[in-house]
Amino acid sequence: MEHLVSGWCNDRSLPESYILPPEKRPGKLTVPLANNIPVIDLGGHDQTDLIQQIFEASQEFGFFQVINHGVPSNLMDEAMSVFKEFHALSGEDKAIETSKDPNKSCYIYTSSPNYATEKFHFWRDGLMHHCNPLEKYIQFWPEKPPRYREVVGPYTAEVRKLGFRILEFISQGLGISPDHFSSGLSENQTLLVNHYPPCPDPSLTLGVGKHRDPGGINILLQSDVYGLQVFKDEEWVGVEPIPYAFVVNIGYLLQIISNGKLKGAEHRVVTNSNVARTTASLFINPSSETLVEPAKALIDASNPAFYKSLTYKDFLSKYIAASSDSKALEEVLSTAL
Ligand code: OGA
Ligand code: NI
């Protein structure tokens, strides 16, 4: 894995292949922090109120943060420590620790999974692995740092529980069955541990370019270092790091299932020149063969489906082909054409 940014970033200025075309550069490096991205207290006992808050945030922003979410804070600290320790290993160790499964349920990449074909690169290394069912996949996870499996096993189990609780609230807010997501639509649970080393010129590059997550939801542990921005009302706003909160964002799948009621939010990651930033995304996504379509309960003669039915695999190939062009993607998915 000779390409990993963390392997060479200390010795070089920003290579040309990381310099984005002017219109894709971060522009102003200090954008305002969004003071209106909701912070929802899941410890509240009024379920109707929680459902309402989550639903409104998912409609308006496609983003919210949750606190009092039930995932123990020491488990969040320990997980963040082993994530950082993993990315601090030598390139050789990282290659060994991520090549235990011939079917590649665990792997490491740099920039994006399309490194070989992309026009320019992003300032990020990513460790990706499946996490459910745990018994099936944990044998392929890294064994260095030594506590990786012992800590990340319970961490992913807890965050997954939180994710399902949020999906249930979202379903209730939409007025569809609370277990709408309980089978194929949530079968693929993947952890992506992102690492963004300090960058020699944050104004010219990004950690992750503008995108919508393709799947259901992402429960993100963002650590205490700022970097995540959301595109809201044609402007970039920053997502404030809040200690022990999770950032939740709605993916494209929920936009389709809700027939456009909920928003798959566009976001990106900026880098900084001082400190490394490590984050962990737990994605709850469909399995490849699962049919992705607007929920039947939301469709009738006066509310026609805006999106075609597709298997998630076919949806993903259209998502990848559209790259980050969200208009082009809307067009190929729309029933109007
Ligand atoms: C992602 C993502 C944001 C971050 O993993 O899809 O948008 O702050 N991550 O690392
Ligand atoms: Ni994302």
Q: Is 337 exposed, middle or buried, given 0-12, 13-18 or 19+ CB atoms closer than 10 A?
A: exposed
Q: Among 31-45, 124-138, 235-249, 287-301, which is the least confidently predicted range?
A: 31-45
The fraction of the chain above a pLDDT of 90, given in percent, is 82
User: Are the CB atoms for 63 and 37 separated by under 8 Å?
Assistant: yes
Compute the distance between CA of residue 176 and CA of residue 164 in angstroms, rounded to an integer.
Answer: 15
Please give the pLDDT value at position 205.
96
| Atom from ligand 1 closest to the CA of residue 222 | 8
Q: Provide the 8-state DSSP code for 185.
A: G
Count of CB atoms situated within 10 Å of the CB of 121? 21
Residue ID of nearest Cα to ligand 1 atom 9: 281
Average pLDDT, integer, range 59-76: 96
Angstrom distance (rounded) from CA 281 to CA 220: 4
- CA dist 305 and 244 (Å) reads 39
3 pLDDT above the threshold of 90: no
Residue 154 CA to ligand 2 center (angstroms) comes to 23
Task: Answer left, alpha or beta for residue 307, where phi above 0 means left and psi between -120 and 50 means alpha.
Answer: beta
Rounded Cα gap, residues 71 and 289, in angstroms: 31
DSSP assigned state of 334: B
Query: Residue 93 and residue 91: Cα distance in Å, rounded?
Result: 6
Tokens of 181: 């997501």
Mutate to test the pocket of ligand 1, among 252, 281, 282, 283 (most ligand atoms within 8 A of CB): 281
Phi and psi (nearest 5°) for 306? Answer: -85, -20
Please identify, by atom number, the ligand 1 atom nearest to the C-alpha of residue 124.
Answer: 10
pTM of the model: 0.96
Neighbours of 92 (CB within 10 A): 11
Peptide bond before residue 198 is cis, with ω within 30 degrees of 0: no
- Distance of CA 224 to CAs 63, 77, 107, 217, 337, Å? 18, 11, 26, 21, 45
Chain center to CA of 132: 17
Ligand 2 mean position, distance from CA 329 (Å): 16
Q: How confident is the model at residue 110 (pLDDT cuts 50, 70, 90)?
A: very high
Does residue 2 have a pLDDT over 60? no
Residue 178 CA to ligand 1 center (angstroms) comes to 27
* Ligand 1, CB cutoff 6 Å, lining residues: 192, 194, 208, 213, 218, 220, 222, 227-228, 267, 269, 279, 281
